[in-house]
Every structure is written in C-alpha cells, then in structure tokens.
Amino acid sequence: MTTQFRLRQALETTPAYVPGKPAAAPAGITSYKLSSNELHLAPLPAVTEAITAAAVNPALYPDPGAGALTSALAAHLGVEEANVLFAAGGAEMLSAYALATLEAGKNVVFPWPSFELYPQLAARQGAEAKPVPLTADFRHDLPAMAAAIDANTGLVLLCSPNNPTGPALRHTELEEFLAQVPSDVVVVLDEAYLEFCTDPEAADGLALTRRFPNLALLRTFSKAHGLAGLRIGYTVADPALVMELRRTVLVFSVSQVAQAAALESVKRYAEVEVRAKQVAAIRDDLVAGLRAQGWNIPDAQANFVWLPVTDEEAASLEAAFAASGLAVRKLPGGIRISIGESAAMERVLEITAGGPGA
C-alpha cells in the first residue's frame, strides 16, 4: 500500500540535486575525486587549530549574528557590517534569496548550463524558470538575459566564473547589463569561485554593488578557503535587502566551528589567495594539455575545466575515468573535471590523450 502525503504540488516539477560521485578504487591504483570542485590542498594549520578550539562545547548555540566574523569580513571587504549576512553555505543563501523574491506568478532568469541549484530554486517556489542558453563560447548571453527580464521577474542569477563551463563575466559587459535591469529586480552574482579567477578583465562585483543597489554578491568559504564540509557562505548586499533576507535565512544555521574557521581564514586571506592561484596554475597547465590534444576547452577561470562533448561521449569518458580511479562530473553537454593534485591531472591527460572522438 502506497501512503499519500499532503505535499506541495511544486515538488512534482522540482529536480533533485545529484551529488558528485565518490572515486572508484581499482586495485593497485590511487583514486581521486574530481567531481565536486573541492579544494585538494590541506587546510591551513591555523584554521585547523581554530576548528579544534571551537569544538570544545557543542552544547551551546552558535552566535546567530556571527558578530566577530561579520565585523572582520566587513573590514576586509571595505563595507559596512550591515552589508554582510552569513548562511550555511552558498546554497542556503541562494535559497534565502529565492524565498524572498519568488512565488507563483514570478520568474527567475539565469544562464544555462550553470549551477544545478538554479532551476530547483524556481520549482520549489512555484515560480517560472527562464534559463537562457550560453553563447557558442560557453559564456553568459547577457543581451538575451536582459531581453528575458519582464514585469514578473523576481530574481536574476549570474555565475562568474560560471559553473560548470568556466568563463568569468567581464566588467564592462556586466556594467552594461546592470544598467538595463530594472532597479527593483534583485540580481545575484554568484562568485563561489572568485579567488581562482585570473582574467584581468573579470568583473569587479564588489565595486559594482556601490553603483547598483539591486546587485548582491554571493560568496562562499567552501571552495578556495577549503571549508566545504563546514557549510558557510555569505552575501554582500544593500542593507535593506540584508534585513529582508534575515526573515528567510535559518537562524543558528552557521555553527560556531564554521564561524571560528572562517574567521581565521579571513585573517589569513592573503594565504588563501596564494593557494588559490597555485590551483589556477595547475588548471592552466591542464587546459593547455587538453587543448594540445585537440579538445575544445572554454576559458577556465575556476578550479575545474569543462570538456564539451555529446551525452554519449560523456558517458564513455566518465566510464574511462572511473576505470582509472578518477571520479569526474558528467552533466548534460559535457564532463566537468575538478582540479586536483598533479598526479591526478597527469592521469586525466593520459585518459584524454586520444583527443575528441577517440
């Protein structure tokens, strides 16, 4: 007998998030997980010490306002504390934005392919998803996105560098786009991979928030800071918008351990950036190697590369990687490979050596 529950109708059209697969472990081969865009470097020792020190008494609730962390991060960014709000990772902050802006009759405009959560946000709220295809070189089609905005648009999502394809938005094109968006439409710029970006023309989102109050930044400690397992992300936005988001972000969602780790990481931001650029150098070497083999690799500005292939080719490639102990992410339209240690990158190039269609 099947039990029926009183569930929201919107769930019928909500796609489930499919997590990255763990790495297989063929006999005698070191396996590597390259499917979740995690930082492969060990945590900074001072951050590990902060985690240990903060974990002594889990009986107490964390600071719901993340006061010390908010103060330190605001000072680092050169903004007011009222501009900053924390949540349990970028995903929860995105959900908070959806709760604040979307409902039946509203729509959300976003690039596609991009972060898998974006269409889920619309479906969960009973709103219309308006995905806008990327350009031929896997970049945001900002003119088409601007044209997709209408009187019912409640939210616009941008992703720079874009996950899973890699390119970053350029400052001039983003500036021109924002000038076309109605001032009462919230635009969230997802900068989860910001620290890995080396494109000199990449958009300065923080600077643009000072000119466009409807632009909000989404950032995380999951990627370059290496704190994905602790779940902590934040937004930088107009204080009036931050106050509204406080109605939708779950209270006590950011643990004291996560706050302590992030605070120490903010204090050592220069070290974080150095490590991120080390990852970027490995990425650039991998891109060069793949292109030399004949692969059409888009501009890569995050901690992953994108192999645009057919779904049939992607399935074959995924199987080949798995047989060699590498977990990669198969997505519609291609394969995403997270940057890992050098031995893993060398193995990637061994598997792709035949080039496209091999």
Residue 33 domain boundaries: 19-37+270-351
- Local confidence band at 59 (pLDDT 50, 70, 90 cut-offs): very high
**Final residue of a structural domain among 267, 294, 322:** 267
Greater model confidence, 279 or 5: 279
The average confidence (pLDDT) of the chain is: 94
Predicted TM-score (pTM) of the model is: 0.94
DSSP conformational letter for 185: S
Is there a single domain that holds both residue 216 and residue 153?
yes
How far is Cα 252 from Cα 109, in angstroms, rounded to an integer? 30
Q: Torsions phi, psi of 183, nearest 5?
A: -65, -15
**pLDDT at residue 17 greater than cutoff 90:** no
Q: What is the CATH number of the domain that holds 274?
A: 3.90.1150.10
Is there a single domain that holds both residue 153 and residue 232?
yes
Instruction: Give the torsion through C-alpha atoms of 288, 172, 101, 166, to 10 deg.
Output: 0
Is there a single domain that holds both residue 289 and residue 251?
no
- How many domains is the chain partitioned into structurally? 2
User: Which tens digits make up the pLDDT trace of 196-255?
Assistant: 999 999 999 999 999 999 999 999 999 999 999 999 999 999 999 999 999 999 999 999
Helix spans in the chain (H): 45-54, 67-77, 89-101, 117-124, 142-148, 171-180, 205-209, 239-245, 256-267, 269-292, 311-323, 342-351
Is there a single domain that holds both residue 33 and residue 59?
no
- Local confidence band at 119 (pLDDT 50, 70, 90 cut-offs): very high
Contact 240, 209 (CB under 8 A): no
